[in-house]
């Protein structure tokens, strides 16, 4: 069963203490490592990740599942977690996105490994698109992280131009 199908069968997501889950995953990771988060370079501790989340619009009662639920985790300060919102495509209201505990733990573990690679100076290779993309295209105009279609991640590569430096 896919993660999306699994989420659809579960019902509403309860309120989750995401900072507590981050601290729990950090503690679990530190028990297995000689490395401690406190010793990691500051610029490596802030990680942007995305996972499968659920949105619910209070105005029109619409519910949706998105594979583009973005969060920014700062491992030195888990309370400063940023959970980006999405607009409802029906009524244009900004809505909080929720993630089930198992999905949030999965992306936190991924972010921890990314933090470790950054600290150790290990560069990751860009993934090649060997397979067709299985998720629908990202709707930048509904995404807070993408500044509702105005952010640099939503601009086509050919359109982004470099401004010449003035001498």
Which residues does residue 73 pair with via DSSP β-bridges, in sequence order? 47
The DSSP element (H or E) to which 22 belongs, if any, is helix 18-32
The Cα–Cα gap between 126 and 19 comes to: 30
Give the model confidence (pLDDT) of 45-71 as tens digits.
999 999 999 999 999 999 999 988 999
pLDDT at 34 over 50: yes
pLDDT for 62: 92
Phi, psi of 74 (to 5 degrees): -110, 110
pLDDT at 11 over 60: no
Q: Using an 8 Å Cβ cutoff, are 75 and 39 in contact?
A: no
Mean predicted confidence (pLDDT) in 117-146:
74
Give the model confidence (pLDDT) of 140-152 as tens digits.
888 888 876 666 5
pLDDT at 157 over 60: no
Predicted TM-score (pTM) of this structure = 0.76
């Amino acid at each position: 069963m896919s993660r999306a199908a699994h989420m659809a069968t579960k019902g509403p997501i309860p309120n989750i203490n995401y900072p507590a889950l981050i601290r729990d995953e950090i503690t679990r990771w530190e028990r297995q490592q000689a490395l401690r988060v406190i010793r990691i370079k500051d610029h490596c501790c802030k990680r942007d990740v995305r996972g499968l989340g659920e949105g619910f619009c209070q105005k029109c009662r619409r519910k949706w599942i998105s594979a583009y639920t973005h969060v920014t985790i700062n491992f030195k300060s888990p309370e400063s977690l940023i959970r980006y919102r999405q607009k409802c495509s029906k009524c244009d209201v900004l809505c909080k996105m929720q993630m089930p505990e198992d999905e949030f733990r999965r992306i936190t573990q991924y972010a921890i490994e990314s933090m470790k690679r950054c600290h150790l100076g290990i560069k990751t290779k860009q993934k090649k698109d060997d397979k067709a993309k299985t998720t629908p295209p990202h709707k930048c105009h509904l995404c807070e992280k993408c500044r509702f279609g105005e952010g640099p991640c939503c601009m086509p590569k050919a359109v982004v131009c470099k401004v010449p430096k003035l001498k």
